[in-house]
Amino acid sequence: MNVTPVTMFDVSQRFAKTACQVDLPDERLFSKLPRRRDALIDRGTKMLLLAIREALAMAKMPGMQGIDAIIIGTSAGAMSIGQDYFRHARSSPSKLAGQLARIEYYQPHKQLNSIAIEYDWHGPMIVVSNACASGANAIGDAMAMIQTGKARRVLAGGYDAIAELVFSGFDTLRALAPSGIPRPFDAARDGLALGEGAAVMLLESEDAATERGASALCIASGYAIATDLHHLTQPDPEGKAAIRTMTGACLMAGISPHEVHYINSHGTGTPYNDVAEASAIRSWAGQAAAQIAVSSTKSAMGHLLGGAGAVEAVICAMALRGQWLPASLNVRETDPAVSFDLVREFREAAVKVALTNSFGFGGTNATLVLKHPDAASRGISPVYHLGDLHILGVGAVSPAGWSSGALELAVTTRQELPAAESERSYFSRDWSCKIHQVPPAPQDRLPKFPRLRRASPITKFSLAAALEALEQAGFPNAQGVGRLGIVQCMFNGCVQFSGKFYHEVIETPALASPLIFPETVYNAPASHVAAFLGVDGPATTLIGESSAIIEALSIAHTWLVQDLVDHVLVIGAEECDWVAAEAVSYYHPDLKASEGAGALVLSLKGDGLKLSHSVAHAFHNESERSEKLSELLQRMPRIGGESGISLIDASEIHAKKAWTESPETALQPRTVLGEGMGAGGAWQLVLAAHLAKKEGAPVEVLLPATLCAAYSAVIG
């Protein structure tokens, strides 16, 4: 891969004009997708499919049968499809053909579902988005699933493709190298080069690999995640979070710094990042740092964003298998901060333990430790006791108000909430498009916090819901909560800033705001919430439909079982603007977009309500959806996911025929609150917790999804 001029979009008014771009094959990659949909498959998804093909072939797996889950990390997802949707939307006041398809395929989980269709696979699909650490997080989450016995085989990795919005964003931050040459750890480095690509790993338990006679390329031995609270985009100069992840990953792997032979550094080539990482390695390894070989392969392929951590983990696996070290290219004069053995030329070497660092916007830090099979301990693995999840507190922000009590009252009394016409930023719309908006916040609901001054509404909704949940749990402002983790779920994320920034990119490229771009990343809200609460441990963001919160609960449970945290805050949130409101209306003119957040404080201890959930297989079309919903529950749940529009609810209506009971007390929050997208599932769980506590009986919830999967949960 070489640094070449960007031709996919106009960069004439950008400081940087080059990137590391992938030449995709001309062949049609998705044979089971209708040809009319070919143009809706993002470049990154095509790279991901090619990576999956290679991984399965290398593992001698005939397909995905036998794989228990897929976990994929991405920072931008199918951003190019979203850009197309936005350009069409802003240029016309009328509904346009093809927009509904763009809405669907813009979503990373829909793109991933296209791969599942290709392999006729129906298992859980989890999309992690923690900026540039996403790929490493996906592999770490897969490790945790296997270590705790929740899965035996998981396909995990990451991907991203170069997109105009992202390229422009890094350019406005002056993070891209004007010279076009990335020089990590060079004293005169001037920035990073964006790249694109994908990588996946098939992770298996030892028993699963032995069962099919597979030989390990390497052993995934350690993983840690931590949050840097210093700044949304700039790392702590001392690299404190990086020190914690390197220490934690090595502790899990049962090694000391002097036993690490090679580090594939995050090494972006920007002045701040390289110095912070060099400082962290020096503090973590001490005198042993001088003997540790370190290189940044971003010097050769650019920064792959959400794919970086996965690709660099694969490079470590290749180094372990081939017994060689990749070079850090383009270094002319080593930065004085470097205290390690900087590998400037390819060399053969004995490599038994490799470590890879991935750091991202929002302060997400992740470290993976991989070992050569001969060096890996075959001792007794930790025994984890899978206790029950307890809900200690809940909180909500919704069109009904800024409390979970207001949400319960609105849904149980079936209030008719006001819906306002969403105001368009460009042109006047020639069709009605209404939205259930969150009312203005009461003065006591949002704290005084500098980051909130420029944060997006989804951040404010998330923080307010989180504070209510923590207060209910007995931890006001997180006081006394101990080690706290955060799992955030969303569908669209920070749409208002994303639309504003991309509009500036289109209209006035040279004046696009560097202050707005960092707020467009999916994990910005979790970062702000973590900063206010002082959460410097694990924090992660998942992208998906309202039912994705069930996967968030599973991750929270895993963290608790592994004793990484004492409590976990799970948040489902969404914000809405005219772009998102129009997108919802494409599904049906009577479907109203909504916004807000729901939060739950979870623990394995305490007297809180118990929560259990079951996972339904993913579906690939409407008929499968009806079938899976019928299989999921044997009776009508107390809280359902119907919208009140028969065309949209067809699968649920069909599934009712198989249910032996249909209680008249069934509640449908979407009919009252509107389509809350990422907040919808959280609202359902918050409501269920209220009812279960009030009535003293379990409450069953159905969390259906439009595109990919459905889940059920029982709270009581």
Backbone angles phi, psi at 680, to 5 degrees: -60, -50
C-beta of residue 610 within 8 angstroms of C-beta of residue 389: yes
Choice among 109, 218, 250, 303 that is catalytic: 303
> How far are the Cα atoms of 132, 217, 554, 709 from residue 158, in angstroms, in the given order?
10, 19, 20, 21
* Annotated catalytic residue 620: no
The CA-atom distances, in angstroms, between 99 and each of 17, 341, 433 are: 30, 53, 15
Give catalytic status of residue 132 as yes or no. Answer: yes
What is the C-alpha to C-alpha distance for residues 168 and 606, in angstroms, rounded to an integer? 48
Catalytic one among 132, 218, 316, 433? 132
DSSP bridge partners of 155 = 70, 202
CB atoms near residue 213 (< 10 Å): 7
**Contact (Cβ atoms closer than 8 angstroms) between residue 228 and residue 365:** yes
- DSSP states of 275-297: HHHHHHHHHHHGGGGGGSEEE-T
Instruction: Find all residues with CB under 8 Å of 5, minimum gap 6, and list them.
Output: 11, 17, 18
- C-alpha 289/C-alpha 299 separation (Å) is 21
User: What's the Cα-to-Cα distance from 519 to each of 98, 322, 527, rounded to whole Å?
Assistant: 28, 41, 10
Q: How far is the C-alpha of 143 from the C-alpha of 489, rounded, in Å?
A: 21
The tokens describing 382, both together, are 């930790």
Q: Which amino acid is at 482?
A: G
CA distances from 42 to 34, 79, 146, 162, 499 (A): 15, 8, 30, 10, 20
- CA-nearest of 600, 231, 596 to 445 is 596
As given in the structure block, the two tokens for residue 574 are 């969404």
Cα distance between residue 18 and residue 313, in whole Å: 25
**Residue in 593, 581, 576 with CA at minimum distance from that of residue 89:** 581
303 is catalytic: yes
Is beta strand 711-715 parallel, antiparallel or unpaired with respect to 699-703? Answer: antiparallel
Can you say how many angstroms the Cα of residue 140 is from the centroid of all Cα atoms in its chain? 13
- Reading the block at residue 585, the tokens are 């209306």
C-beta atoms surrounding 447 within 10 Å: 11
Q: Looking at 109, 261, 266, 528, which residue is catalytic?
A: 266
At 531 the three-state DSSP class reads helix
Contact predicate 644/617, CB 8 Å: no
Task: Determine phi and psi for 332, rounding to 5 degrees.
Answer: -100, -45
Which of 689, 694, 644 lies closest to 668, judged by CA?
Answer: 644
β-partners of residue 370 are: 220, 354
What residue type is assigned to position 96 of the chain? Answer: L
The candidate with the shortest Cα–Cα distance to 135, out of 200, 78, 77, is 200
> How many CB atoms neighbour CB 206 within 10 A?
14
**Helix and strand element counts for the chain (H, E):** 21, 25
| Rounded distance between C-alpha atoms, residue 332 and residue 659, angstroms | 70
What's the one-letter identity of residue 542? L
Characterize the bridge pairing of strands 353-360 and 364-371.
Answer: antiparallel
Contact between residue 292 and residue 341 where contact means Cβ atoms under 8 Å apart: yes
Per DSSP (E only), the strands in 34-85 are 69-73
- Residue type for 676, please? G
DSSP 617: P
User: Hey, which residues are catalytic here?
Assistant: 132, 266, 303
